[in-house]
């Protein structure tokens, strides 16, 4: 007799990719368990990146990444519209500052076309400065990528995970997987500090730690070498300075320092690219910040006159391989979803679709749920659509949407209550911040910090 | 401007004092908007003594002072509205308000901006490291301890050595935390010798001068802070679970920028003349939006001055000035307030200009000049960063309206 298994599919890692896979699988009649080591979903690499929705124009042709990023762009663009994830299609301008960089243009255009993206086009210098008058002097040319967009990196994984939870996914936060063993009768047993979980299928979406989990299963294929990216977020008063995502001409090592608006109405400068030893080294550095400020002063001098709202650093889960490390071990039912360096947000839904198809080939029974997907509408935290404080009829119905608690970001008491009460409640200040924008603004809590601490304390106490 | 109310944005000392003055001068319709849930501004959570000396002529604690002003303004007949934030204001347009009553628009007859100032947080000071819990400003510290009764931590480093930094020592002690030290990049503290001696005796708090906070480590809470000696370059670390970034004030100027007001590059608040007029007709500004930060009573006296000027404006007190001569500052001076000269604008609040320096100076000579012509010069007793020196105002009558900007400079010798 077989012991009954706890779940059909266990997904390890609730970053944007793990959450997308959980959402995809809960559309089918399956028991899905999503395990996250950290206190919340989307709270690792997924929260600290450049928050761009890429077309995939610059991927290396022929790779899985080059196939999944454009597909993910389409899927996420549609999904974002449907559930209310903030997206702004600003377009990108890839700027050359030297003739040498400009000589790269034909190659970039050719690669873009090979990736199926034909809307890329060269702009004259005059047109470039007409579009971005605050750009520093010395640009010699630009390529326009009209579909590159900004996306909310917080709402995206939250939307996936919320939909999955509403559809019955068993999400366990603060639950690190400490060991894995194969069961003789098929399937896996995952050890966690709060008990073991047995699963027929296992999906490794552990990001920075995906190589460790992979090794626990006896593989020796790749090593995650965390590559740190530091970013500076400027005050919203700087937002009128920049219209597009301003990209640099990429090198072999990095896509370079970019300047981009955010969906919250700030302006972002970064990232750096530095290989670090530790997988938890998300500290910003004096050298990194000095480098970014020097680059910023060159690309857009006026930006540097503005106040800095936030500084943060994130880690890309890079490996020694160029492409994603997506592999399925059909007989045993193990899917490895790793090496998704910096395009995970853009490609997440396509990766999920790909993994679901692969698991199907491996024998996972995929019967669509009879109930259909749950109705989902995420709270809007983007600047392009109406925020609750702007909606008179909403305030009329519930006065707490008129009570602004976080003044800098205009977050209301009603939104904070919703974030603490929702199907995927915030458990700490960082979770509250990613759900509502509270405490994310220029004062960093001078005005609302104590009030938020009190509200959180009341909830946990 | 319309026949609507005079709208005062911000119910701290400056805003409430402006409301009182407007009512005292017979202005009927005075509306004060406060985005917090209580009136009074920063003094609500500043529990130390010494408020009210210059304006109310009696010593009060911060909360008593805040209550007193709220009572006076209510008794004077001003309409006081809390939980109401001005969320939109384009140049010349109506004010858009958001509050539990809903969304409203108000066409004001005049506006007094009194939105105050705040301390620069760690991120704006570009201190690298991790982003742990326990990194706060004095403002947050006061609210945690005095408004919410929450413990701030157990071992705290205070960054800065101004008056407010020393007040943070009292707040930490009240909240049950120990201050392990105070760090300032300057060569000495900027407060009163009495406060420094008190901190040394009462709390045994060391003061580390010429010391920069160069990294913060720890997760999820602060574990240690890296300090660098600016002279020797020596680096050491201090264990603590709380870091309080104090002072380094910046005006809360979003609304002023939104309204398209000309801004002063030094104060980063709206540029104003002695009558506290901004560049937009009918729009006045007062308090620490103009000079971050002065004590509450100085802010209130500015509010009173703005209230009087707004009342004069409403009773047809002349056209809005179009010739505005800016006053700039040369390093190491940081700013002067007011910072615009308009002929016939009278004496500024308290009869003086406030001048700030980034460096300590003893017996400096200050000169105000326009196009190479000295308008005033004199010697000050001293300049201390973070504290204002006061300059006379009679020289403003000699400014040439067509002579371009004026500037203030300082020299140690001669």
Query: B95 to chain A nearest CA, in Å?
Result: 14
According to the model, what pLDDT value does residue B194 have? 86
How does pLDDT run across A160-211, given as a tens digit for each residue? Answer: 999 999 999 999 999 999 999 999 999 999 999 999 999 999 999 999 999 9
Span B227-238, mean pLDDT?
Answer: 98
Residues A328 and A352 in one domain: yes
A209 catalytic per annotation: no
Rounded (10°) CA dihedral A443, A447, A453, A458:
-150
**Which of the four pLDDT bands, split at 50, 70 and 90, describes residue A461?**
low
Are A450 and B219 a contacting pair at CB < 8 A? no
Residues A56 and A123 in one domain: no
How does pLDDT run across B40-50, given as a tens digit for each residue? Answer: 999 999 999 99
Q: Which of B44, B101, B140, B254 to mutate to test the interface with A (most CBs of A within 10 A)?
A: B140
- Residues of chain A contacting B121 with CB distance shorter than 8 Å: 442-446
According to the model, what pLDDT value does residue B2 have? 58
Residues A411 and A371 in one domain: no
Residues A444 and A419 in one domain: yes
Cis geometry, peptide bond prior to residue B394 (ω within 30 degrees of 0): no
Are A286 and B215 a contacting pair at CB < 8 A? yes
* CATH classification at residue A204: 3.50.50.60
Distance in angstroms (rounded) separating the CA atoms of residues A306 and A267: 10
In chain B, pLDDT over 90 holds for what percent of residues? 93
Question: A182: closest CA among A199, A157, A207?
Answer: A199
Span B1-17, mean pLDDT?
Answer: 91
Per-residue CA distances from A316 to A106, A257, A278, A345 (Å): 28, 15, 12, 12
Distance in angstroms (rounded) separating the CA atoms of residues A328 and A315: 25
Span A432-436, mean pLDDT?
Answer: 98
Q: How many A/B residue pairs have CB atoms within 8 Å? A: 117
How does pLDDT run across B207-223, given as a tens digit for each residue? Answer: 999 999 999 999 999 99
Span A431-443, mean pLDDT?
Answer: 97
Question: B247: closest CA among B307, B196, B189?
Answer: B189
- Residues of chain A contacting B144 with CB distance shorter than 8 Å: 449-450, 453
Residue B179 pLDDT exceeds 50: yes
**Which of the four pLDDT bands, split at 50, 70 and 90, describes residue A1?**
very low
From B83, B136, B252, residue closest to A445, measured CB to CB: B136
Distance in angstroms (rounded) separating the CA atoms of residues A94 and A249: 6
Rounded (10°) CA dihedral B336, B340, B341, B347:
-60
Query: B205 to chain A nearest CA, in Å?
Result: 24
Supply the mean pLDDT for chain A: 96
Residue A150 pLDDT exceeds 60: yes
- Domain holding A409, by residue range, is 388-460
Find tokens 């022929």 and name the residue: A62
Please give the sequence-ordered ranges of beta strands (E in DSSP) within A208-356, or none if there are none: 225-234, 245-248, 258-261, 267-270, 274-275, 308-318, 325-329, 334-338
Q: How many structural domains are present in chain A?
A: 3
Residues A101 and A245 in one domain: yes
Cis geometry, peptide bond prior to residue A47 (ω within 30 degrees of 0): no
Structure tokens at A435: 């759900």
- Residues of chain A contacting B150 with CB distance shorter than 8 Å: 450, 453-454, 457
**Predicted ipTM of the assembly:** 0.96
Distance in angstroms (rounded) separating the CA atoms of residues B30 and B303: 14
According to the model, what pLDDT value does residue A170 have? 98
From B101, B126, B250, residue closest to A402, measured CB to CB: B101
According to the model, what pLDDT value does residue A371 have? 86
Burial of A17 (0-12, 13-18, 19+ CB in 10 A): buried
Query: B234 to chain A nearest CA, in Å?
Result: 16
Cis geometry, peptide bond prior to residue B293 (ω within 30 degrees of 0): yes
How does pLDDT run across B258-283, given as a tens digit for each residue? Answer: 999 999 999 999 999 999 999 999 99
Which residue of chain A is at minimal alpha-carbon distance from B253? A237
Are A402 and B250 a contacting pair at CB < 8 A? no
Residues A215 and A162 in one domain: yes
**Which of the four pLDDT bands, split at 50, 70 and 90, describes residue B164?**
very high
According to the model, what pLDDT value does residue B318 have? 72
Are B128 and A445 a contacting pair at CB < 8 A? no
According to the model, what pLDDT value does residue B92 have? 86
3-state DSSP assignment of residue A271: coil
Residues A369 and A434 in one domain: no
Provide residues of A within 8 Å CB-CB of chain B.
236-237, 280, 282-286, 288-289, 307-312, 389-392, 395-396, 399-400, 402-404, 407-408, 410, 428-429, 442-447, 449-451, 453-454, 457
Query: A323 to chain B nearest CA, in Å?
Result: 30
Residues A141 and A72 in one domain: no
- With beta carbons less than 8 A apart as the criterion, state whether B109 and B5 touch: yes
Structure tokens at B370: 């326009």
How does pLDDT run across A15-46, given as a tens digit for each residue? Answer: 999 999 999 999 999 999 999 999 999 999 99
Span B124-134, mean pLDDT?
Answer: 96
Residue at a domain's end among A383, A398, A423: A383
3-state DSSP assignment of residue B98: strand
Query: B98 to chain A nearest CA, in Å?
Result: 6
Residue B414 pLDDT exceeds 70: no
Residue A460 pLDDT exceeds 80: no
In chain A, pLDDT over 90 holds for what percent of residues? 94
Residue at a domain's end among A297, A318, A339: A318
- Residues of chain B contacting A449 with CB distance shorter than 8 Å: 136-137, 140, 143-144
Residues A98 and A117 in one domain: yes
Residues A237 and A124 in one domain: yes
This prediction has a pTM of 0.96
Structure tokens at B346: 């009278």
From B36, B87, B102, residue closest to A396, measured CB to CB: B102
Residues A405 and A347 in one domain: no
* CATH classification at residue A298: 3.30.9.10
Distance in angstroms (rounded) separating the CA atoms of residues A5 and A452: 41
**Which of the four pLDDT bands, split at 50, 70 and 90, describes residue A2?**
low
Provide residues of B within 8 Å CB-CB of chain A.
35-37, 83, 85, 87, 98-103, 118-124, 126, 128-131, 133, 136-137, 139-140, 143-144, 147-148, 150, 214-215, 217, 219-220, 250, 252, 254, 257
Span A335-361, mean pLDDT?
Answer: 96
Residues A141 and A262 in one domain: yes
Taken in order of first residue, the domains within chain B and their CATH numbers are 1-120+249-320 (3.50.50.60), 121-247 (3.50.50.60), 324-414 (2.60.40)
Residue at a domain's end among A332, A355, A383: A383
Query: A319 to chain B nearest CA, in Å?
Result: 24
Distance in angstroms (rounded) separating the CA atoms of residues A58 and A102: 15
Residue B1 pLDDT exceeds 50: no
According to the model, what pLDDT value does residue A252 have? 74
């Amino acid at each position: 007799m077989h012991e009954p298994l706890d779940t059909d599919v266990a997904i390890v890692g609730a970053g944007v990719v793990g959450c997308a896979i959980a959402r995809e699988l809960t559309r089918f009649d399956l028991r899905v368990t999503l395990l996250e080591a950290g206190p919340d979903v989307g709270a690792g690499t997924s929260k600290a990146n450049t928050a761009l929705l890429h077309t995939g124009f610059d991927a290396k042709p022929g790779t899985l990444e080059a196939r999944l990023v454009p597909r993910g762009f389409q899927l996420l663009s549609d999904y974002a519209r449907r559930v209310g994830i903030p997206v702004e299609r600003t377009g990108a301008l890839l700027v050359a500052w030297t003739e040498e960089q400009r000589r790269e243009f034909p190659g970039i255009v050719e690669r873009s076309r090979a990736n199926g993206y034909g809307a890329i086009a060269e702009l004259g210098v005059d047109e470039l400065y007409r579009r971005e008058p605050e750009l520093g002097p010395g640009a010699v040319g630009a390529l326009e990528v009209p579909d590159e967009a900004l996306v909310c990196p917080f709402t995206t994984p939250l939307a996936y995970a919320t939909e999955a939870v509403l559809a019955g996914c068993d999400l366990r936060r603060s639950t690190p997987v400490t060991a894995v063993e194969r069961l003789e009768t098929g399937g896996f047993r995952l050890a966690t500090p709060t008990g073991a979980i047995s699963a027929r299928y296992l999906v490794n979406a552990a990001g920075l730690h995906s190589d460790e989990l992979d090794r626990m299963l006896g593989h020796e294929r790749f090593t995650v070498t965390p590559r740190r990216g530091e970013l500076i977020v400027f005050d919203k008063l700087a937002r009128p300075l920049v219209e597009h995502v301003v990209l640099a001409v990429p090198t072999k090592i990095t896509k370079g320092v970019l300047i981009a608006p955010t969906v919250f109405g700030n302006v972002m400068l970064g990232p750096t690219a530095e290989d670090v030893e530790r997988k938890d080294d998300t500290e910003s550095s004096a050298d990194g910040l000095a480098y970014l400020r020097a680059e910023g002063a060159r690309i857009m001098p006026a930006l540097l006159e503005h106040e800095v709202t936030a500084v943060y650093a994130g880690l890309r889960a890079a490996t020694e391989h160029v492409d994603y490390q997506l592999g399925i071990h059909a007989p045993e039912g193990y899917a490895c979803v790793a090496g998704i360096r910096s395009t995970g947000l853009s490609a997440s839904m396509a990766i999920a679709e790909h993994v679901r198809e692969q698991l199907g080939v491996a024998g996972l029974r995929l019967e669509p749920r009879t109930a259909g997907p749950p109705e989902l509408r995420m709270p809007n935290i983007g600047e392009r659509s109406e925020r609750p404080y702007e909606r008179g009829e909403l305030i009329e119905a519930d006065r707490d949407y008129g009570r602004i608690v976080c003044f800098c970001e205009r977050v209301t008491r009603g939104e904070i209550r919703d974030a603490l009460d929702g199907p995927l409640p915030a458990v700490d200040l960082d979770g509250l911040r990613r759900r509502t924008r509270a405490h994310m603004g220029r004062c960093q809590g001078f005005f609302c910090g104590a009030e938020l601490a009190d509200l959180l304390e009341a909830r946990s106490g | 401007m319309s026949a609507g109310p005079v709208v005062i944005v911000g119910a701290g000392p400056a805003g409430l004092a402006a409301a009182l003055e407007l009512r005292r001068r017979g202005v009927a319709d005075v509306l004060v908007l406060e985005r917090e849930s209580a009136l009074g501004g920063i003094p609500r959570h500043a529990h130390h003594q010494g408020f009210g000396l210059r304006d109310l002529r009696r010593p009060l604690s911060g909360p008593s002072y805040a209550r007193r002003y709220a009572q006076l303004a209510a008794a004077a007949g001003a309409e006081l509205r809390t939980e109401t934030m001005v969320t939109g204001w384009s140049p010349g347009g109506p004010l858009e308000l958001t509050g539990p009553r809903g969304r409203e628009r108000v066409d004001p007859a005049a506006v007094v901006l009194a939105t105050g100032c705040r301390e620069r947080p760690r991120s704006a000071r570009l201190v690298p490291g991790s982003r742990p819990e326990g990194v706060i400003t004095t403002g947050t510290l006061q609210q945690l301890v005095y408004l919410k009764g929450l413990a701030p931590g157990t071992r705290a480093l205070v960054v800065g050595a101004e008056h407010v930094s020393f007040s943070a020592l009292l707040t930490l002690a009240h909240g049950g935390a120990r201050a392990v030290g105070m760090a300032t990049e300057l060569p000495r503290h900027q407060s009163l010798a009495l406060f420094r001696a008190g901190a040394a005796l009462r709390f045994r708090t060391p003061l580390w001068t010429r010391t920069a906070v160069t990294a913060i480590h720890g997760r999820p809470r602060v574990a240690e802070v890296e300090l660098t000696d600016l002279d020797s370059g020596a680096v050491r670390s201090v264990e603590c679970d709380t870091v309080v970034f104090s002072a380094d004030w910046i005006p809360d100027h979003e609304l002023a920028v939104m309204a398209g007001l000309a801004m002063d590059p030094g104060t980063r608040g709206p540029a104003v003349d002695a009558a506290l007029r901004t560049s937009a007709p009918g729009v006045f500004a007062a308090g620490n939006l103009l000079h971050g930060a002065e004590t509450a009573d100085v802010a209130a006296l500015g509010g009173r001055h703005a209230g009087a000027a707004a009342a004069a404006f409403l009773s047809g007190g002349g056209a809005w000035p179009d010739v505005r001569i800016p006053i700039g500052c040369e390093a190491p001076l940081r700013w002067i307030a007011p910072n615009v000269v308009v002929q016939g604008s009278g004496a500024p609040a308290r009869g003086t200009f406030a001048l700030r320096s980034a460096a300590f100076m003893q017996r400096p000579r200050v000169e105000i000049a326009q196009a190479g012509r000295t308008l005033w010069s004199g010697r000050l007793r001293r300049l201390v960063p973070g504290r204002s020196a006061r300059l006379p105002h009679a020289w403003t009558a000699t400014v040439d309206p067509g002579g371009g900007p004026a500037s203030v400079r300082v020299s140690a010798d001669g």
